[in-house]
Structure 1
Amino acid sequence: MAQQLSPVSGGHQDSAASARPVQQQPLPARSASAAEPLAEPKRPWYAFATPTIGRAVRHASRLLHHGGSALPGKVVERIDPGFLARTLGSLPYGVVLVSGTNGKTTTTRMVASMLSDMGLRVFTNPTGSNFTRGVVSSLLTQVSAFGHLHADIAVLELDEAYAVHFVRQVRPRYALLLNVMRDQLDRFGEIDNTARLLAHVARATTGTVVLNREDPRIARLADEVQPGVQVRYFGLSQALRSYFPSDDDMHNTDMQAAGTQSTTGVVYDPDCLDADTTLTHVGDHEATYRIDGHDIATSVKLEGVYNLFNAAAAAAVVRAVTADTPQGVASDDRLIASLSRVTPAFGRGETISVNGTPVELLLVKNPMGFRLSLASFPPAGHDTMIIINDEYADGRDMSWLWDVDFTGLRGTGVASVSGTRAWDMALRLEYDQVPVSHVDTDLEQAVADFVAADPDTPKRIYCTYTAMLRTRAKLSHITDVADAGVGR
């Protein structure tokens, strides 16, 4: 993490100017049925055997080398449609649903880890299972032979589109909605459509909705919650806003740089909303949070300034959950102490040691995330590799790479570029006058060559989702790589 941070290219530079222009797009009309109890599908007579059937499918799939954690979930959804709602409905504190464009995995890990520290038994879905069928598959690995889940609460990461399908079956008690960015547009369409998806989640939540007050589209979702549902916010101090530009900030600044007129017209001021948890200072593996008017400084194991902001989100929802327990809301000191112990999720600032050389993996999937990663991790003293794939999970449209400023890499250059879109990435770097030493579309060979070269120099790999999975798989053949599940 950089000790001296620079405002992210594409964000507004004046930290004193907190008002933000935002386009107002209509969200779907409030559904009167959103607060009504869900009708549970008829329980089949053989429901007692559902876990056994699901596990048998999982075992057979592995024996046949089909992989794919979703197959058992697909079978269970077909034979017992009520399994998901029935199982999660038995939890004393219900479900925490985490969604948004950036930060879902790390934030889910934080929330699960912190709630576990607070004494709750937590079920959470592993990375890569952030869709309804994946949640069902994950449940099959945890429930008893008779379908009982030994947990107090579930903390679930869900992709924006799949979250809508999930809340049609299970009403979350808590929702944490992080942000909306221009991400994988070929999957979800324009950014306002993503906000509409999250509006469904806000309306379906029964207890507390926690929103990012710095993102105008997310903050507006407060208007979508049902009567009686509490709304909380997490946010930034005014001085830090230039490091975390919203999508509108990025878009408007880029338009101004191109000499075009911004189409946004409504001014949004984040300070009009009181934040439950506010990030006020960032440093080298340290951060300060304001909770209930008190500033609390802490050391952190997380990498990247964006994860420090995600930590504010996690703290806000954990406070909401613990407020509903007999012990009451967690003390500020206990909350922050728990936060300081959370380690990065795989591929999100995760460091893997290869023969004594640290290799850091950083997931990139949209302009905002890539820009923040580049701003958080200065390239000096590291060899840099970029791996770009364009499989479905990555998004087919890689034109967003042209919205990322790579000029900060000019001084050190990029040692290696790989992935199915390696040549597109190399071309993009050439336009920013960034030297590239090696281009190889064979990902496994490129990774092996990269980590073997200059063994005394730390490595940093920026990679898309499927590239990250393949990179970890390759590194696991060279060194010990931790499991991808949630844990410390």
Structure 2
Amino acid sequence: MRATLSRLTESPTVKHLIPICIGKTARSLLRLAHRGSALPGLIVERIDAALLPDILGSLPRGVVVVAGTNGKTTTTRLVVEVLRAHHIRVFSNPSGSNYSRGILSSLLGQISFSGRLDADIAVLELDEGHAGAFVEVVPPRHSLILNVMRDQMDRYGEIDHTTNLLHQVAVATTDDVVVNDLDPRLHSGRFLRDVDATVSSFSASSELRTLFPGDDELLDADPPAPTAISDQTTLERIDPSPLVSFDGASHPLTLSFGGTFNTLNAVAALAICRAVLRGEFDPGHAFQALANTTPAFGRGELIAVNGQTIHLVLVKNPGAFRAALESYSGDGAQTMIALNDHDADGKDVSWIWDVDFTALRSDPVRVVTGTRAADLELRLHYDDITAEIREPNIGGALELFIETPSPTVKRIYCTYTAMLAIRRTLRPGILGEAA
């Protein structure tokens, strides 16, 4: 009898039952209150640290990790859709909550009370600062390292520290690591040292490389020496239409949302899916899935409001802002910029002085807002750009921005917490991150 009881309590079905019930109850209560939160995941993490590795470790195709400074949420979404187009059941953290507790919160919405997850593979976006701790307990089978840029320096410090955090992910990966060939820090001998997995890369043709500068190029510094990687998925051209090559063949690429940086994210998604699927990879399924994928939460999302189209563009560091300005500026869009300095944004906003805003001279900057609106207004002044209105309160700024008719799209460049506030106002009742 004692032996039977011991076997039962050690089985996944029984030993995680109480934590799962508690977590599911907390998640349901928050959803009834129309609040998205990682709190249920935090609760379960505290009382049952083994739940996450036990469930993810049981998946037949293992775990795919997507990490890097910019583009994680969009690229994760693209990877998920390509894999699903190959009839693979995928679990992911689609809201972009990329800590272990956020992943657990997403997991609680999909597992049964017995702890069963109806999935073949997990595709997970990971925050750089928490990725190392995650891969220690859940070693990924495949990882995609997108880029490394200066971002939230009050959290991550200098770029070499961020590179080391991403290096931990690569070292922990068992089967395949895909790195950005345009970022010398990610395919240097130092970064690839101790990496036992097969290494491949995504890239862009020599004619396009200037569109995707690395952090060192933004600061006119000399990057580390690169290491040659043979297997590559390459963006050959963007105009008149994107073209991607791999395995000696070229393929047209269509996306339902814009941005040159999103085109490169799609190439990255193709590269990791090729590694995951190997001989199962079907270009026809893959490119059709990419064409059908809609923008991720708040990242290039289009929201209809009072007969107008509001375009939300998340910008959280110099590289992301520069890429967004190059992709969208010049189309005459009426512009609002929202800059916050909350914990999730990074307290240090001095990075705005590394952004070249001159591209906005051709687009009317209607409003600047956020907790650091005054800093933003001053920064624009030094690039000879005058904002019509400075309104620190985001709700008030949004009202002013929307009330003025415009024949073109209205674009809002916003930092993370500003994006959440704007989206809650424009789409009330829609759960946000970590839903």
The answer to whether the superposition gives a TM-score over 0.5 is yes
**Aligned position for 2:7:** none
Trace 1:47-446 onto structure 2 (pairs within 5 A): 47-61=16-30, 67=35, 69-220=37-188, 221-226=191-196, 229-252=197-220, 262=221, 264=222, 268=225, 272-283=228-239, 286-323=241-278, 328-446=279-397
For residues 394-449 of structure 1, the C-alpha deviation after alignment (integer angstroms, 9 at most, x for no partner) is 00000000000111212333100011111110110111110210010110111122
Runs of 4+ in 1 over 3 A off after TM superposition: 42-46, 59-63, 65-68, 480-486
Contact between 1:320 and 1:329, CA under 8 Å: does it hold in 2? no
Contact between 1:50 and 1:147, CA under 8 Å: does it hold in 2? no
Contact between 1:387 and 1:419, CA under 8 Å: does it hold in 2? yes
Task: Provide closer, same or farther for how the CA distance between residues 281 and 485 of structure 1 changes in structure 2, counting only shifts above 3 A.
Answer: farther
Task: Provide closer, same or farther for how the CA distance between residues 265 and 302 of structure 1 changes in structure 2, counting only shifts above 3 A.
Answer: closer
* SS at structure 2 position matched to 1:410: helix
Task: Provide closer, same or farther for how the CA distance between residues 481 and 379 of structure 1 changes in structure 2, counting only shifts above 3 A.
Answer: farther
More helix by share: 2
Contact between 1:108 and 1:156, CA under 8 Å: does it hold in 2? yes
* Percent of aligned pairs sharing the same letter: 47
* SS at structure 1 position matched to 2:55: helix
Structure 1 unmatched runs, 5+: 1-41, 253-261
Contact between 2:106 and 2:434, CA under 8 Å: does it hold in 1? no
**Aligned position for 1:447:** 398
* SS at structure 2 position matched to 1:224: coil
The structural deviation recorded for 1:265 is: 7.4
The structural deviation recorded for 1:48 is: 2.5
* SS at structure 1 position matched to 2:332: coil
| Structure-2 separation of matches of 1:205 and 1:277 | 20
Task: Provide closer, same or farther for how the CA distance between residues 298 and 207 of structure 1 changes in structure 2, counting only shifts above 3 A.
Answer: same
Contact between 2:102 and 2:434, CA under 8 Å: does it hold in 1? no
Task: Provide closer, same or farther for how the CA distance between residues 430 and 94 of structure 1 changes in structure 2, counting only shifts above 3 A.
Answer: same
For residues 363-399 of structure 1, the C-alpha deviation after alignment (integer angstroms, 9 at most, x for no partner) is 0011111011000002332101000000011000000
Please identify, of 291-300 and 368-377, the stretch whose mean Cα deviation from structure 2 is larger: 291-300
**Aligned position for 1:10:** none
| Structure-1 separation of matches of 2:379 and 2:397 | 19
User: What is the TM-score of this pair, normalised by structure 2?
Assistant: 0.92
The structural deviation recorded for 1:302 is: 2.6
| Structure-2 separation of matches of 1:72 and 1:408 | 43
* SS at structure 1 position matched to 2:27: helix
The structural deviation recorded for 1:450 is: 0.5
* SS at structure 2 position matched to 1:300: coil
Please identify, of 444-453 and 158-167, the stretch whose mean Cα deviation from structure 2 is larger: 444-453
Amino acid at match of 2:265: N
For residues 188-215 of structure 1, the C-alpha deviation after alignment (integer angstroms, 9 at most, x for no partner) is 1100000100111111111111111111
| Structure-2 separation of matches of 1:476 and 1:334 | 32
Amino acid at match of 1:280: E
Contact between 2:318 and 2:351, CA under 8 Å: does it hold in 1? yes
In the comparison of the two structures, how many residue pairs are matched?
423
* SS at structure 1 position matched to 2:208: helix
Amino acid at match of 1:419: G
| Structure-1 separation of matches of 2:275 and 2:375 | 45
Task: Provide closer, same or farther for how the CA distance between residues 134 and 301 of structure 1 changes in structure 2, counting only shifts above 3 A.
Answer: same
The structural deviation recorded for 1:459 is: 0.2
Contact between 2:217 and 2:223, CA under 8 Å: does it hold in 1? no
For residues 330-376 of structure 1, the C-alpha deviation after alignment (integer angstroms, 9 at most, x for no partner) is 13333222222222112221111112221101000111110110000
| Structure-2 separation of matches of 1:340 and 1:484 | 24
Amino acid at match of 1:112: V
* SS at structure 2 position matched to 1:349: coil
* SS at structure 1 position matched to 2:301: strand
Task: Provide closer, same or farther for how the CA distance between residues 265 and 186 of structure 1 changes in structure 2, counting only shifts above 3 A.
Answer: closer
Structure 2 unmatched runs, 5+: 1-9
Task: Provide closer, same or farther for how the CA distance between residues 275 and 358 of structure 1 changes in structure 2, counting only shifts above 3 A.
Answer: farther
| Structure-1 separation of matches of 2:409 and 2:288 | 29
| Structure-2 separation of matches of 1:299 and 1:60 | 40
Amino acid at match of 1:138: S
User: What is the TM-score of this pair, normalised by structure 1?
Assistant: 0.82
User: What is the alpha-carbon root mean square deviation over aligned residues?
Assistant: 2.2
Please identify, of 335-344 and 202-211, the stretch whose mean Cα deviation from structure 2 is larger: 335-344
The structural deviation recorded for 1:483 is: 7.3
The structural deviation recorded for 1:242 is: 0.6
The structural deviation recorded for 1:455 is: 4.3
Task: Provide closer, same or farther for how the CA distance between residues 421 and 438 of structure 1 changes in structure 2, counting only shifts above 3 A.
Answer: same
For residues 107-154 of structure 1, the C-alpha deviation after alignment (integer angstroms, 9 at most, x for no partner) is 000001111111001110032410011111111111011010000111
| Structure-1 separation of matches of 2:183 and 2:108 | 36
The structural deviation recorded for 1:61 is: 4.9
Q: Is residue 470 from structure 1 mapped to residue 421 from structure 2 by the alignment? A: yes
Contact between 1:235 and 1:275, CA under 8 Å: does it hold in 2? no
Amino acid at match of 1:245: P
Contact between 2:182 and 2:204, CA under 8 Å: does it hold in 1? yes
| Structure-1 separation of matches of 2:223 and 2:296 | 38
Contact between 2:76 and 2:123, CA under 8 Å: does it hold in 1? yes
Contact between 1:371 and 1:405, CA under 8 Å: does it hold in 2? yes
Amino acid at match of 2:192: A
